[in-house]
Structures are given as structure tokens and as C-alpha cells.
Chains A and B, each alone.
Chain A
Amino acid sequence: MARRRDRLVLAALLTPVTLFLGVFFLVPLLTIAVFSFLTPGLYGGVEWAFYHWNYGRIFGWADGIMEVFEPVYLRILGRSLSFAAVTVLLCLILCYPVAFWVSRLPERWRLVFLFLITLPFFSSLIVRLYAWLLILKPSGLLNEMLLGIGLIGAPLEILYTPTAVVLGMVYVMIPFMFLPLFAAVDNLDRSLIEASYDLGATRFQTFRKVILPQTLPGIVGGSVIVFIPSVGNFIVPDVLGGAKGLMAGNLVEQQFLSARNWPFGAALSMLIMSVVLIVLVTFVTRLRPKEG
């Protein structure tokens, strides 16, 4: 009796989220999957006829007239993946020590700090990126300061370089890395660390055998949440990179807008999604803590 009620309650609780994901995640995903095999309409949209050249153009079969194979799309994807990986790594290096520091603060200060971390979300991303543009430009705040204290002789050329893109991406993604990391670090069982020291482990051994495995879920979670949107980000490369290095996100955006080729945009999206999925599954399974 009780069992059956539990099941009913569970079903009732799961229905809204299932419906929501079904409608707003699965339906669009299926639309993209179907569109990627259709003929592009002359002025955007699709014609309902099977068309495999969208993938051919990416992977190497094409008629050479209307559709031409170019390895450039795979290169763009590779570039986006490496930028995303660098972003993940930098976010991790920056956030990991800070998470420890914050977890040791008195309760009140911890709340203040967590509030500060989420503060950027209160304003639009575009506005914040334009602020970075003003900071990084040759006559901007950063260069004025460095020139002022005599650290550099000529303005640094950061704006419209890959450095600016990585900087912008790290800035945007830091909160997404910090929050899961902090949750993991905050839950760390401190008595285990003490025990480790008592048993004669060095600081490095304690970190590797006790702290790292316990915080690993936070590291994996943060990395995944940072990696996925980084691969598809197109605003940061546009605003801070000067649109000079094409990223996967820009490419997709361009297909749906200026190129008016929705099916090719859909095919590229499918490619990006599957590659991201493969990378993540490999990453997560490799890093799963060995049990026993």
C-alpha cells in the first residue's frame, strides 16, 4: 500500500519536469536532427526533401557544384574545442584555491562572497563584454594603469586577439565553475585530512589521496558546466576577438542568419553536440573515482 503511494507521489513529482524537458528539449532537438537532413530553402527555412550534402560538406563527400567539401569546418570545431578546454582549465586553476579560502570564512562572509560571485548575473552579458572592450582596448583602463605605473612602455595589444577571447570566456564562466567546486570543498570531511596527517602522510599525499578524490565530483561538475557553453559561445569571440577567428558558435549563427542555410546550420549543431557528448562521456568515465 505504502509502496504504491510512494510510486504515485514519485510519478506526480516527475511528470512536470518530464513534460517540460520533453517539450522544450526533445522536440527542438528532434527538429534540428530532422532539419539537418533536409534541403535548404532558397531564402531560409527548409524544403521537405532528403538531402545528405549538409553532412557531406563537413565530412568529405559533396557534388562540388552546389556543395563543396572543405576541411575548414572540422578545423573550426577543433579550434572551438581547444578554446573551451583552455577555458575549463583556467577557470579550475583560478577557482579551486578560492573555494578552499571561502569555505573557511565565517558564515556571514561566506554568504557575502557567494553573493559577489553571482553579482555579474544581474547585468546583461553584452553590457559586461562591452565593459571588457573598454578595459582592454589600447587606450583602455588596463593599459592606462600599466603605463601609469611604468610596467610597460607601449600599450599591450590584447583586444581583438585570442587572448582577449580566452579572458572573456574565463570571466563569463567563472561562476559556473566556482559554485559546484565550492559545494564539494565545503562538504569536505576535515577529520579525514587530520587523520591523514596523523598517519604520517605528506601534504602532497594528503591532497592527492584525500582532498582530490573528495572534491572530484565538484571538479567534474564544474568542468562539464563550463565546457559545454564554451564550445558554442559566439558572443565573446565576436565582441572581444573582432570576429577574426571563426568559432563553431559563430559558424552556426551565420548559417541561420546571413547564409540563410538552416539545414547546414542544423547539421553543424548536430556535429557539435555529438562531439561534445563524446568528449564529456570519455572525460567523466575516465575521472570517476575508482571504488573499493
Chain B
Amino acid sequence: MKLRSTVLAASVLLAGASGAVAQEKLAIYNWGDYINPDVLTRFTEETGIEVSLDTYSSNEEMLAKIQAGATGYDIVFPSVHMNDIMIKLDLLEKTGINTHPDFGNIDPAFLRAKEDPASEYCLPYAWGTVGIFYNEDVTGPVAGWADFFAIPEKTGGKISLLDDMREVMAIGLMMNGKSVNSVEPDDIKAATDYVLAQKDKVTAFTYESMPLIASGDLAAAHFFVGGNVFFIDMPNVKYVIPAEGGTMYQENICVLASAPNKAAAQKFLEFYLTPEIAALNVAQQFNGTPNIPANELTPEFIRSNPNINVPAETMARLQIFEDIGAGLRAYDRAWNTIRTAQ
């Protein structure tokens, strides 16, 4: 994944360099594989702004780097709860993107950041779900977490979870009918116990599960909806949003207070309001967009897949992570216990 993003970054740089007199620059700091390179190429073609792309693999990695004083980046893509934290820490710049005439394209349901309820700072970028990928030939039908954790015993197939504290704890919380943002000690204890009881069935905590499902080494895995990109030609591998509940994520495009190219960053936000551009990104990313008209422009197989283009009744069982402040300590302790248990 890292390698791919590096190659990607290099090709984007090349594309930027070939644009005639690309004087203006824009430094994007994004999650790995989280933007369609064609979007960046189009941006350079239309504006002449040279784009560079650097990647991170977690909100915290990005925050730690920016907090430690990393400068030179213009745009970051924090998740909603990190967007809130970054505003509290004065790391973001007000852009007034909500006053742009095209801002009406954005579904107001996606203005989720508590610190930025009117989108004066950031532009909602994309959203998606976290669920279960399973190889139906091996596992049979899988509806949710109970089926998922039964796979090893029932079929001998192997399963993996994400190597992510909040995502794994969320499974335990949801199975006990609690909020994924609960900081109640009893809730956390019950969630920990649930996950611990499943641990010996779990082969690994990893982000590298998609190739292992493709090669048949894993039967099922906990992963982001974007993983569908690996299985376009493998109809036996399916994705489901668990019946008992799943998590969703949303990232926003934000301009850093320390951005050296604020004008170029502003242009990028405005560029991304265009429905065609948001749809171009969805076509490669397989996730959702808050841009309402863009949803009409996405490829048919994405529009018609209820696990990607999620209907309202499924939305109802999705939860999103919020900043839990000092409550994170209890999660960290639980996660250490889970990972060291034999």
C-alpha cells in the first residue's frame, strides 16, 4: 500500500511537471490511496497548479506530524473527530467555503464537525462504511459479526480484524448494544470481554487483508468499503454492513493554518465542489460522496450496490467515531489487554 502510494505520488508529480508553466503549487497530505490520481491530474490541467501528494496512515500520525511543527503542507483530510480536534488546537484555517455558490451541492447531513457546524473551515470530502468482506464460496452467507466470528469454527476459514483500537473496540461495544463513543467503564469492560472471547478465532489484526482474501489465505476480513476495488472480478467475495451495526467514517478537506499556498488550497476546495470531480473520485474509490448531484454521475454498478450506495435503513445502524478526549486512556488500556492476551 505504501509502495503504491509512492508510485502514485510520483506519477502525480510527473503529471504536474508536464503542465506548461505550472508556477503555483499545492501540497496535499492525505491518507494513502484516498484520492483518485485522475482528480489531481484534472486539477493541474484546469488550474496550472502543480500538485504534490504525501500520505499518512492514521489521523494520529498526521496530527502528531503537524503538532510537531511539520510545515509545507496545504491541505489535509482529517476524519470528522480529528477535524474537531484540529480546530480546537487552532491548526486549521477558515476558508469560507460555505459561501461558494456551488456549496449547495453538499448534503447538509454531512456537516458533522461539531466545531464547524456551518462548514466555515472544511469541506466534507467523502464517507464510507467499515464492514465485513467474505469469500462466500468458503463461508456461506454472512450477515453480521456473529456469523463472522463463527467462520473459523464452522468452515476452518481464517478471519482478520483491523489493526485499529477504536474499530476493534467498536465491535465489542456494538455487540453489547452500546455507543461506539461510550466512555462508561462498564461498557468498555463488556466490550473488552467480548473481543477477548473472540481473540483466538482471529488470525491477525492487519490492514493487509484484501490481497490475502483474494489469494484465499483469509476467508473473511474486517475492512473499509473501499476494499471492493480489489474484487471487481471476484463475485464470490462480498461486502456486508453487519446486521448488528457497523461504523462509518467521513473525512473533510481542510486547509492548514500553516499552509504556504492558501490561494491554491482554496481553489482545490472549490474545484472539488464540482459534481463531475466528486463522481470521478467515487468511481475509483468506491466510497460515498456528500455531493448530491455527483451521486447521479457515478458508475451504474456503484449506484446499484446497496452496500456502497447505502439506503436510509442501513444508514440507521451505522455509527461514527467522535472525539472522546481523556476517555481514550481507557480504550488504550483495553487495547493493550486485548493485544497481549494469549
Q: Which residues of A contact B (CB under 8 A)?
A: 42-45, 66-68, 70, 72-73, 75-76, 126-127, 130, 133, 137-140, 159-160, 238-239, 241-246, 250-251, 254-261
In the bound complex, residues from chain B placing their C-beta under 8 Å from that of A239 are 208
- When the two chains form their complex, are residues B332 and A259 in contact, meaning their CB atoms are under 8 A apart? yes
Residue B42 at the A interface, CB < 8 A? no
Q: How far, in Å, is B31 (CB) from chain A's closest CB?
A: 14
In the bound complex, residues from chain B placing their C-beta under 8 Å from that of A137 are 212, 215, 217
Q: How far, in Å, is B189 (CB) from chain A's closest CB?
A: 12
- When the two chains form their complex, are residues B332 and A45 in contact, meaning their CB atoms are under 8 A apart? no
Contact of A251 among B67, B166, B212, B336 (CB under 8 A): B336
In the bound complex, residues from chain B placing their C-beta under 8 Å from that of A73 are 336
- When the two chains form their complex, are residues B326 and A126 in contact, meaning their CB atoms are under 8 A apart? no
- When the two chains form their complex, are residues A243 and B204 in contact, meaning their CB atoms are under 8 A apart? yes
Instruction: Classify the interface of chain A: helix, strand, loop or mixed.
Output: loop
> Given A127-B3, A243-B204, are A66 and B332 also a contact pair (CB < 8 Å)?
no
- When the two chains form their complex, are residues B328 and A260 in contact, meaning their CB atoms are under 8 A apart? yes
In the bound complex, residues from chain B placing their C-beta under 8 Å from that of A140 are 217
5 residue pairs from A and B, CB less than 8 Å apart = A45-B67, A70-B336, A139-B217, A238-B206, A254-B332
> Given A137-B212, A261-B329, are A238 and B163 also a contact pair (CB < 8 Å)?
yes
Interface residues on B, range: 35 or more
In the bound complex, residues from chain A placing their C-beta under 8 Å from that of B203 are 160, 242
- Cα–Cα distance between A250 and B206 once the two chains are bound (Å): 14
- When the two chains form their complex, are residues A257 and B61 in contact, meaning their CB atoms are under 8 A apart? yes
Residue B89 at the A interface, CB < 8 A? yes
- When the two chains form their complex, are residues A257 and B60 in contact, meaning their CB atoms are under 8 A apart? yes
In the bound complex, residues from chain A placing their C-beta under 8 Å from that of B340 are 72, 75-76, 245-246
- When the two chains form their complex, are residues B215 and A257 in contact, meaning their CB atoms are under 8 A apart? no
Q: How far, in Å, is A208 (CB) from chain B's closest CB?
A: 40
In the bound complex, residues from chain A placing their C-beta under 8 Å from that of B67 are 43-45
In the bound complex, residues from chain B placing their C-beta under 8 Å from that of A251 are 336
Contact of A43 among B58, B85, B166 (CB under 8 A): B85
- Cα–Cα distance between A125 and B340 once the two chains are bound (Å): 25
**Shortest Cβ distance from B337 into A: residue:** A72
Contact of A258 among B60, B85, B160 (CB under 8 A): B60
**Shortest Cβ distance from B88 into A: residue:** A43
Q: In this complex, which of A160, A239, A256 has the most chain B Cβ atoms within 10 angstroms of its Cβ?
A: A160
Contact of B60 among A44, A126, A133, A245 (CB under 8 A): A44
- Cα–Cα distance between A242 and B340 once the two chains are bound (Å): 12
- Cα–Cα distance between A254 and B340 once the two chains are bound (Å): 14
- When the two chains form their complex, are residues B204 and A257 in contact, meaning their CB atoms are under 8 A apart? no
**Shortest Cβ distance from B164 into A: residue:** A258
B residues 101-144 in Cβ contact with A at 8 Å: none
Other contacts beyond A42-B326, A44-B63, A243-B163: 9, CB < 8 A: A76-B336, A242-B206, A246-B336, A254-B332, A257-B60, A259-B165, A259-B331, A260-B63, A261-B332
In the bound complex, residues from chain A placing their C-beta under 8 Å from that of B164 are 258
**Shortest Cβ distance from A255 into B: residue:** B332
- When the two chains form their complex, are residues A259 and B208 in contact, meaning their CB atoms are under 8 A apart? no
**Shortest Cβ distance from A126 into B: residue:** B2
1/0 per position for B166-186, CB-CB distance to A under 8 A?
100000000000000000000
1/0 per position for B1-37, CB-CB distance to A under 8 A?
0110000000000000000000000000000000000
In the bound complex, residues from chain A placing their C-beta under 8 Å from that of B163 are 238, 243
